């Protein structure tokens, strides 16, 4: 029982890191970025390539994946995305699905279409008995890293100057501009951080989720679930939603038969959204 | 009504067709070149190209032209492409078919148009029964699962949990393995299934671990194999004394090199290993890698390679006559040496008869390979064999 | 001008419309070869039309419209296998079954933001996909529903290998349902939907029964999608799990956005553009067509459909003074 819970938490934490950038762009910047998974995939491929070709240690790949995806996000935001802020949601869907297609085809062309894997350093492999519960070392590592990141993000958003500028820019871009807040820059930086986090999540997820050129499509549904259930008014909502998703998914598959286990998560989603249309953890507006 | 209409239209377009058919035989190759199954499509496409590069594009005085189409693994698209290839391009043979539903959807076209359908990948047993024009050069899952069950019983494995992906081929594998294993006196503790959209194997593995079985028999589609094995090891099941036995999809050559040392020691049964010890295979692997930037050929590739061989040999036998009935008659019973070993086409079922090898993943020259250590010769599809 | 006159002016048939339909029917006389693709286009067009009814006219965005498409396909397939091979009753049954599902699930999409609706519709489709996979005795599971032998059209025309009958069948169905949709959106009912989409609060203040109108249009849209699914099942004599796939919902949404929402020809134009482009691209670059498709979508979104349309018109005006 405790092991199942632990597995679910680790899985959920990973989902949070992957999806939180989407929560920010969608919730705070009101942009439907269905191409979010492409940034995660970029981080994953950076890691695989660095480790395979140049033998870079796993830990060093993580920041590299973050930086690479963040840079990619920044470039795309400045050149393409910013032209679509404030446009119709449907045009944003068109645009971001187009990006996904391009990302998939390009990755397929350069990296091949088969699954890629990495070999973790030996200190992250295997299991330990902790307080009578057998836990996987890599999953513990995930929980620690992702937990710390979530905490950092929450503090950054609520306690720093940048966080308050971002919230101001979102609430009313015109007034914020009038107050001298460089709205464009704030958005660009936010977008870059969100993409970078996705990249980091992609790097961390190679071991658990695998990596192929169709990653952005395969996991899009999961990202959307996290954001929809968590609500889009902050970081804590998606965080709790991701944990819930992870635990429900793992426990559903363990305790129910496979036929039911497959869709219990979607039924939960429907019930939650019908009862709480703005997400389970959204503050009432 | 139908036949009359086809005849009318055929008659209308008779002249150009005849003039054309005299010198060219077209093969419509329908594969998933994009989408989740893209790696299957790429392997087969590469093998088909290699075969033509090695054996020329002319056989029995006919020029053989391959038309490649991407069906994105959507069966209704496969069917439409097959129809278009038959109607517009007048192909003599349909080939490829990455997944079972695609092959199934096309079978009525093969029957209606009397065009042979050479299945180069899809592995559900019943495909060859869908039309008298279907012939298969890949494998059936039962072909691998049944020998695995027999081997397990002989090697002291008594209690087994099975775990398969919850779709047609997985259920085929589960059933044929379980039936044979029980018939040989073994015990199946539980049949576990995982949903296709299941990126995390943790819960099912935990369930398997709780049963304390001697071995876990597993089938997952080739893309998911690596994650599965890794999580199996990560959960410490191997150290807990549970053996991992599988069909060869799990340790697919395409990805084996990148799977890491966790897969070393996995025992599995399948029809082809890139490490198969024969002169023909050595030259095949070398040529394949050279032509495809170091890509290692997998069991899908030999399905494509042998499929082309089957078409070429049938054309030789008919003296270049590419009519469907004659080609089918020529294909039945053909036998030859493939990179995977000796194979033949069963004249009754039009399914492939081939050796199944029991392999163990080992490191050779710094790379991971499925090393064959036992051979079960001339295995026919057990599902169809059981029906008789 | 009186209100009535202005509305009846909007509902009048214009020349381009008539030319469009004449061309569509004239395509039946083409030499065999392209009818299969045309059939697929007609089916996607009907499917996109059904999505337009809720998205363009009622503002309900859906990422799970395949739920109804797939339900219609399985209903038609099973009906053909178990009851009678007659395609017409099969089509009617599929429409009724899909409409019933639409009515039942419409209650789920009455409230909430775009994102909520997106996710609820998506989840409904995913649940149905899993259910279909879990009932292999009925649906054939991942192997697909086999053994359908569809009877001849009007008891006379067989579905041939060339797809001409199939295209005729799909096109006529599309045309009839299009006429009906055209009639509906120009009726007071359709206008009240537009009012709800623009401002739900104001519409209800004006006495529009928002809830029942949305339920009605959602049910209607589900029925249309079910008809499209039934056409696919009957013209290909095969149903696979892919009819309920996420990809199918995404494709139809893409097609509709490409063509433009809120005018009935949007779905039709989008379906033509999407399918023809995909066919041409994937024929010339089977491995790499997604790149060009993606590029097209990105450019289309960046430039904007309206400006692109104006550009083309301007160009035409220059070329043909």
Whole-complex ipTM: 0.86
Partners for C (CB, 8 Å, 3+ pairs)? A, B
Does the beta carbon of B156 lie under 8 angstroms from any beta carbon of chain A? no
Binary contact (B38, A52; C-beta < 8 A): no
HEC letters along chain A: CHHHHHHHHHHHHHHHHHHHHHHHHHHHCCCCCCCHHHHHHHHHHHHHHHHHHHCCCHHHHHHHHHHHHHHHHHHHHHHCHHHHCCCCHHHHHHHHHHHHHHHHHHHHHHHCCCCECCCCCHHHCCEEEECCEEEEHHHHHHHHHHHHHHHHHHHHHHHCHHHHHHHHHHHCHHHHHHCCCCHHHHHHHHHHHHHHHHHHHHHHHHHHHCECCCHHHHCHHHHHHHHHHHCCCCCHHHHHHHHHHHHHHHHHHHHCCHHHHHHHHHHHHHHHHHHCCCCCCCCCC
Instruction: Give the closest-approach CA distance of B248 to chain C in angstroms.
Output: 21
Position C16 confidence tier, pLDDT thresholds 50, 70, 90: confident
* Backbone φ/ψ region at B319: left (φ over 0), alpha (ψ -120 to 50), beta: left
Domain residues for the domain of A206 are: 2-217
Statement to judge: residues C312 and C163 lie in one domain: no
Q: What is the pLDDT of residues B75-133, one digit of tens each?
A: 889 999 999 999 989 999 999 999 888 999 999 999 989 999 999 998 888 899 999 99
From chain C, which residues contact A within 8 Å (Cβ)? 61, 108, 111-116, 118-120, 122-124, 126-127, 130-131, 133-134, 246, 250, 253-254, 257-258, 261, 287-291, 293-302, 304-305
C320: pLDDT strictly greater than 80: no
Q: How far apart are CA B252 and CA B271, in angstroms?
A: 11
- For the stretch A191-230, pLDDT in tens is 999 999 999 999 999 888 888 898 998 888 888 888 888 8
- Listed as ranges, residues in chain B with pLDDT below 70 are 1-22, 197-199, 388
CA distance A254 to A1: 10
Residues present in chain B in total: 388
Q: Quick one: C23 and C136 in the same domain?
A: yes
| pLDDT higher than 90, residue A262 | no
User: Which of A100, A270, A278 is the closest to C113 by Cβ?
Assistant: A278
Q: Are B373 and B358 in contact (CB under 8 A)?
A: yes
* Residue C212 sits in the same domain as residue C301: no
pLDDT for B1 equals 43
Of the candidates A105, A214, A250, the beta carbon closest to that of B36 is on: A214
Rounded to the nearest angstrom, the gap between the alpha carbon of residue A69 and the centroid of all alpha carbons in its chain is: 12
pLDDT in tens, A86-113: 788 888 989 999 999 999 999 988 888 8
Q: List the domains of chain B with CATH numbers.
A: 2-139+279-350 (3.40.50.2300), 142-270+355-387 (3.40.50.2300)
State chain B's mean pLDDT as an integer. 87
The total of structural domains in chain C comes to: 2
Q: Is B68 on the interface with C (CB under 8 A)?
A: yes
Residue A163: pLDDT band with limits 50, 70, 90: confident
Q: Which residue of B has its CA nearest to A53?
A: B258
Tell me the C-alpha distance between A225 and A241, whole Å. 8
Nearest to B194 among A4, A112, A258 (CB): A258
- Distance of CA B355 to CAs B266, B385, C96, Å? 20, 16, 52
Of A104, A266, A279, the CB nearest to C126: A266
Domain co-membership, C32 together with C156:
yes
* Residue C113 phi, psi (nearest 5): -85, 180
Alpha helix locations (H) across B235-381? 253-256, 279-291, 299-318, 324-331
* C280 belongs to a structural domain: no
Regarding whether C177 and C67 lie in a shared domain, the answer is yes
What integer pLDDT is reported at residue B169 of this predicted model?
A: 80
Confidence of residue C48 (pLDDT cuts 50, 70, 90): very high
Q: Which residues of C touch B166 (CB under 8 A)?
A: 133-134
| Residue C199 in domain | yes
Q: Are residues C157 and C295 in the same domain?
A: no
DSSP code of residue B306: H
Check CB contact of A258 with chain B, cutoff 8 Å: yes
User: Closest chain B residue to C148 measured between Cα atoms?
Assistant: B108
Count Cβ neighbours within 10 Å for each residue of A157-181 and write b for 16 or more, e otherwise: beeeeebebbebbbeebeebeeeeb
If one counts every other C-beta atom within 10 angstroms of the C-beta of residue A107, the result is 22
User: Does C159 lie in the same domain as C299?
Assistant: no
Q: Higher-confidence residue: A232 or C93?
A: C93
Mean pLDDT of chain C: 87
> CB pairs below 8 Å between B and C: how many?
113
Q: Is the pLDDT of residue A33 over 70?
A: yes
Q: Are residues C72 and C211 in the same domain?
A: yes
Instruction: Say which of A119, A127, A209 has its CB closest to residue B260.
Output: A119
- Which among B9, B75, B169 has the least Cβ separation from residue C162? B9
* Inside any domain, residue C21: yes
> If you average pLDDT over every residue of chain A, what do you get?
86
Q: What pLDDT is recorded for position A231? A: 77
What pLDDT is stored for residue C2 in this prediction?
64
Query: pLDDT-derived band of residue A264, with 50, 70 and 90 as boundaries?
Result: confident
Q: What is the pLDDT of residue C128?
A: 92
Between chains, do B126 and C282 touch, taking CB under 8 Å as contact?
no
Taking the C-alpha atoms of residue A261 and residue A256, their distance in angstroms, rounded to an integer, is 5
Residues of B in contact with A259 (CB under 8 A): 166, 193
In terms of domains, do C303 and C181 share one? no
Query: How far is CA A184 from each of CA A26, A147, C39, C149, C303, rounded to the nearest angstrom?
Result: 16, 30, 47, 61, 21
pLDDT band at C116 (very low <50, low <70, confident <90, very high): confident
B79 vs C160, C236, C290: nearest CB: C236
Cβ <8 Å between B76 and C143: no
Closest CA of chain A from C289, distance in Å: 8
The minimal CB distance from A258 to the residues B193, B226, B231 is found for B193
C319 and C185, same domain (yes or no): no
- Secondary structure letter of residue B35 according to DSSP: S
* Distance in angstroms (rounded) separating the CA atoms of residues A126 and A143: 16
Q: Is-contact A138 A125, C-beta < 8 A?
A: yes
Contacting residues of B for A117, CB less than 8 Å apart: 226-227, 230, 255, 258-260
pLDDT of residue A111: 87
Identify the closest residue of chain A to B262 by CA–CA distance.
Answer: A119
Mark whether C58 and C163 lie in a shared domain.
yes
Which pLDDT belongs to residue C3? 64
pLDDT of residue C177 exceeding 90, the answer is yes
DSSP designation for B129: G
What chains are in contact with B, requiring at least 3 Cβ pairs below 8 Å?
A, C
pLDDT in tens, A42-68: 999 999 999 988 889 999 999 999 999
Q: Give residues 42 to 71 of A whose Cβ lies within 8 Å of B.
A: 52
Structural domain total, chain A: 1
HEC states along chain C? CCHHHHHHHHCCCCHHHHHHHHHHHHHHHCCCCCHHHHHHHHHHHHHHHHHHHHHHHHCCCCCCCHHHHHHHHHHHHHHHHHCCCCHHHHHHHHHHHHHHHHHHHHHHHCCCCHHHHHHHHHHHHHHHHHHHHHCHHHHCHHHCECCCCCCCECCCECCCCCCHHHHHHHHHHHHHHHHHHHHHHCCHHHHHHHHHHHCHHHHHHCCCCHHHHHHHHHHHHHHHHHHHHHHHHHHHCCECHHHHCHHHHHHHHHHHHHHCCCCCHHHHHHHHHHHHHHHHHHHHCCCCHHHHHHHHHHHHHHHCHHHHHHHHHHHHHHHCC
Task: Identify the domain containing residue C315 by its residue range.
Answer: 285-321
Sign of CA dihedral B206, B207, B210, B214: negative
State whether C32 and B9 contact (CB < 8 Å).
yes
Residues of chain A contacting C294 with CB distance shorter than 8 Å: 97-105
CA distance B319 to B313: 10
Those residues of chain C whose CB sits closer than 8 Å to some CB in chain B are 32-33, 36-37, 39-40, 130, 133-134, 136, 141-144, 146, 152, 156-158, 160-163, 232, 236-238, 240-243, 245, 247, 282-283, 286-287, 289-290
3-state SS, residue B83: helix
Shortest distance, CA A116 to any CA of chain B (angstroms): 7
- What's the pLDDT at C205? 83
Structure-model confidence comparison of residues A11 and B8, the more confident one: A11
Percent pLDDT > 70 in chain C is: 92
Instruction: Point out the least confidently predicted range of A118-122, B273-277, C229-233.
Output: A118-122
| One domain for residues C226 and C309 | no
Is any Cβ of chain C less than 8 angstroms from the Cβ of B194? no
């Amino acid at each position: 029982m405790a092991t199942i819970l632990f597995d679910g938490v680790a899985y959920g934490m990973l989902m949070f890191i992957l999806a939180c950038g989407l929560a920010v762009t969608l919730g705070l910047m009101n942009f439907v970025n269905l191409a979010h998974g492409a940034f995660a995939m970029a981080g994953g491929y950076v890691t695989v390539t660095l480790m395979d070709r140049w033998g870079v240690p796993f830990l060093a790949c993580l920041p590299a994946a973050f930086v690479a995806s963040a840079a990619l996000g920044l470039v795309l935001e400045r050149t393409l995305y910013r032209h679509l802020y404030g446009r119709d949601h449907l045009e944003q869907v068109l645009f971001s699905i187009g990006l996904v297609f391009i990302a998939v085809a390009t990755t397929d062309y350069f990296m091949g279409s088969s699954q890629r894997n990495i070999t973790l350093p030996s200190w992250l492999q295997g299991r330990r008995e902790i307080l009578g519960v057998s836990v996987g070392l890599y999953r513990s590592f995930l929980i620690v890293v992702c937990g710390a990141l979530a905490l950092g993000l929450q503090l950054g958003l609520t306690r720093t100057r940048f966080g308050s500028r971002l919230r101001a820019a979102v609430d009313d871009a015109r007034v914020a501009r009038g107050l001298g807040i460089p709205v464009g820059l704030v958005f660009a930086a936010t977008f870059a951080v969100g993409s970078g986090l996705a990249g980091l999540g992609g790097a961390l997820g190679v071991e658990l989720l695998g990596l192929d050129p169709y990653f952005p499509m395969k996991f899009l549904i999961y990202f959307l679930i996290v954001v929809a259930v968590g609500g889009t008014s902050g970081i804590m909502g998606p965080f709790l939603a991701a944990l819930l998703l992870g635990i429900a998914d793992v426990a559903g598959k363990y305790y129910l038969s496979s036929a039911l286990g497959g869709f219990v998560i979607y039924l939960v989603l429907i019930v939650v959204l019908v009862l709480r249309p703005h997400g389970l953890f959204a503050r009432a507006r | 009504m139908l036949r009359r209409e086809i005849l009318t239209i055929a008659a209308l377009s008779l002249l150009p067709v005849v003039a054309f058919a005299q010198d060219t035989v077209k093969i419509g190759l329908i594969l998933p070149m994009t989408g989740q199954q893209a790696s299957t499509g790429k392997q087969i496409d590469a093998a088909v190209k290699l075969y033509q590069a090695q054996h020329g594009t002319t056989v029995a005085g006919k020029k053989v032209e391959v038309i490649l189409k991407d069906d994105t693994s959507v069966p209704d698209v496969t069917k439409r492409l097959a129809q278009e290839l038959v109607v517009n391009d007048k192909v003599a043979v349909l080939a490829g078919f990455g997944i079972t539903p695609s092959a199934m959807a096309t079978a009525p076209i093969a029957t209606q148009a009397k065009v042979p359908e050479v299945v180069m990948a899809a592995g559900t047993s019943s495909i060859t029964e869908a039309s008298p024009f279907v012939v298969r050069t890949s494998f059936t899952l039962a072909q691998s699962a049944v020998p695995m069950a027999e081997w397990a019983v002989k090697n002291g494995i008594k209690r087994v949990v099975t775990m398969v992906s919850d779709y047609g081929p997985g259920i085929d594998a589960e059933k044929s393995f379980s039936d044979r294993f029980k018939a040989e006196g073994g015990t199946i503790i539980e049949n576990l299934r995982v949903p296709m959209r299941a990126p995390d194997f943790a819960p099912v593995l935990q369930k398997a671990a709780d049963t304390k079985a001697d071995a876990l028999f597993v089938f997952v589609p080739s893309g998911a194999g690596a994650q599965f094995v890794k999580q199996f090891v990560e959960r410490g099941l191997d150290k807990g004394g549970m053996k991992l036995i599988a069909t060869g999809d799990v340790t697919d050559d395409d990805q084996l090199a990148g799977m890491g040392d966790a897969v070393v020691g996995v025992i599995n049964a399948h029809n082809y290993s890139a490490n198969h010890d024969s002169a023909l295979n050595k030259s095949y692997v070398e040529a394949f890698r050279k032509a495809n930037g170091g890509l290692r050929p997998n069991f899908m590739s030999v399905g494509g390679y042998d499929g082309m061989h089957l078409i070429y040999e049938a054309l030789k036998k008919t003296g270049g006559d590419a009519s469907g009935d004659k080609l089918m008659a020529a294909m039945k019973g053909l036998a030859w040496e493939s990179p995977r070993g000796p194979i033949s086409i069963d004249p009754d079922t039009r399914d492939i008869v081939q050796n199944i090898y029991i392999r163990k993943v080992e490191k050779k020259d710094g790379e991971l390979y499925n090393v064959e250590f036992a051979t079960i010769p001339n295995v026919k599809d057990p599902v169809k064999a059981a029906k008789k | 001008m009186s209100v009535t006159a202005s509305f009846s002016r909007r509902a009048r048939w214009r020349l381009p419309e008539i030319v469009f339909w004449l061309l569509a029917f004239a395509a039946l006389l083409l030499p065999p070869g392209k009818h299969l693709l045309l059939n697929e286009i007609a089916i996607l067009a009907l499917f996109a039309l059904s999505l337009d009814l809720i998205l363009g006219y009622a503002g309900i965005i859906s990422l799970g419209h395949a739920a109804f498409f797939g339900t219609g396909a399985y209903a038609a397939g099973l009906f053909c296998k178990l009851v009678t091979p007659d395609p017409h009753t099969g089509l009617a049954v599929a429409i009724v079954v899909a409409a019933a599902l639409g009515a039942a699930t419409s209650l789920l999409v009455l409230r909430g933001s775009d994102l909520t609706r997106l996710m609820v519709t998506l989840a409904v489709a995913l649940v149905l996909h899993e259910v279909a996979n879990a009932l292999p005795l009925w649906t054939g599971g991942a192997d697909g529903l086999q053994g359908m032998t569809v009877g001849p059209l009007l008891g006379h025309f067989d579905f041939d290998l060339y797809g001409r009958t199939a295209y005729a069948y799909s096109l006529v169905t599309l045309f009839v349902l299009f006429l009906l949709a055209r009639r509906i959106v120009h009726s007071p009912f359709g206008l009240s939907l537009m009012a709800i989409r623009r401002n739900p609060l104001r519409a209800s203040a004006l006495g529009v029964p928002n809830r029942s109108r949305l339920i009605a249009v959602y049910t209607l849209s589900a029925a249309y999608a079910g008809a499209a699914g039934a056409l696919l099942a009957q013209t290909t004599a095969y149903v696979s799990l892919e009819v309920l796939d996420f990809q199918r919902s995404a494709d139809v949404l893409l097609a509709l956005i490409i063509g433009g929402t809120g005018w009935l020809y949007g779905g039709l134009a989008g379906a033509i553009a999407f399918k023809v482009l995909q066919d041409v691209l994937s024929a010339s670059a089977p491995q790499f067509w997604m790149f060009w498709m993606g590029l097209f979508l990105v450019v289309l979104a960046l430039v904007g459909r309206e400006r692109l349309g104006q550009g083309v018109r301007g160009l035409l005006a220059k070329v043909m003074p």
